[in-house]
Amino acid sequence: MSEPKEIFVRTDRCVGCLSCTIACAVEHSASKTLFGAVGETPAPKSRVYVEWVESDKKVPIVCRHCEDAPCMYACISGAISRNKDGVVITDTDKCIGCWTCVMVCPYGVIGRHLETHKAYRCDRCPDRDVPACVGACPTGALIYKTVPAYSASVRRHASREFVKAEGG
């Protein structure tokens, strides 16, 4: 199995412009265009959130698609499963809207669709190579990479800092 990619967040890069939330909602709209999406009913919904942490941190937060996903085990109707790409998905036909997944999700990234009475969350944009939120981020705060590739970039950065701290 090839190494799956994950959405990683570099909180030091986020300026809180919310471009990710707009791009996400647009990608999950019928028209898939901004100017079309703003007029649609029901209103398209973003699956990515940007939280504010005192005093000036902005933190984009999105479904982690946990390997040991609490939502998947908690779902009493068997609506939540993992697909072949490792993405945790909610089968809306099976979802009964009990919100158990919402209770157990440690990140709070599962939403309630008032019109359809179903739960919704990040689906990693199945029609795109790179998720819409990542593509829209103007500062590179959202990264779409495999774990080894992301870890390698963090190691490279840490190494440079290490050398700098030693006076190199």
Partner 1 sequence: MGTSDKILGKSIDPAVHQMLERAEKLNMETAWDRYEKMLPQCGFGELGVCCRNCNMGPCRISPFDDQGPKKGICGATADIIVARNLIRMIAGGAAAHSDHGRDLAHTLLLTAEGKSGGYEIKDEAKLAALAAEYGIDTDGRTKEEIALDLARAVYAEFGKQEGPIRFTRRAPEKRVAQWQKMGIDPRGIDREIVEIMHRTHIGVDNDPVNLILQGLKASIADGWGGSTIATEISDVLFGTPSPVRSEANLGVLKKDHVNIVAHGHEPVLSEMILAAAADPALVAKAEAAGAKGINVVGMCCTGNEIIMRHGIPIAGNFLQQELAVMTGAVEAMIVDVQCIMPALGDLCSCFHTRFISTSPKAKFPGAVHMEFHEEKALETAKEIVGAAVENYGNRVAEKVFIPGEKTECMVGFSTEAIVKALGGTLDPLLDAVKSGAVRGIAGVVGCNNPKIKHDHGHVALVRELIENNVLVVTTGCNAIACAKAGLMLPEAAEEAGDGLAGVCRTLGVPPVLHMGSCVDISRILTTCAAVANALGVDISDLPVAGAAPEWMSEKAVSIGAYVVSSGIFTVLGTVPQVLGSPLVTEVLTRTANDVVGAAFAVETDPVKGADLMIAHIDKKRAALGI
Residues in contact with partner 1 by CB under 8 A are 17-19, 21-23, 25-26, 34-35, 37-39, 43-46, 114, 135-136, 138
Nearest distance in Å: CB 48, partner 1:
11
Query: Tokens at residue 83, please?
Result: 């697909």
Nearer Cβ to partner 1, position 22 or 72? 22
Residue 7: how many other CB atoms lie within 10 Å? 23
CA angle 30, 131, 71 (to 5 degrees): 90
Query: Tokens at residue 135, please?
Result: 């593509």
8 Å CB contact between 63 and 107? yes
Q: Kindly state the DSSP code that residue 2 receives in the 8-state scheme.
A: P
Nearer Cβ to partner 1, position 17 or 104? 17
Nearest distance in Å: CB 112, partner 1:
9
Nearest distance in Å: CB 141, partner 1:
14
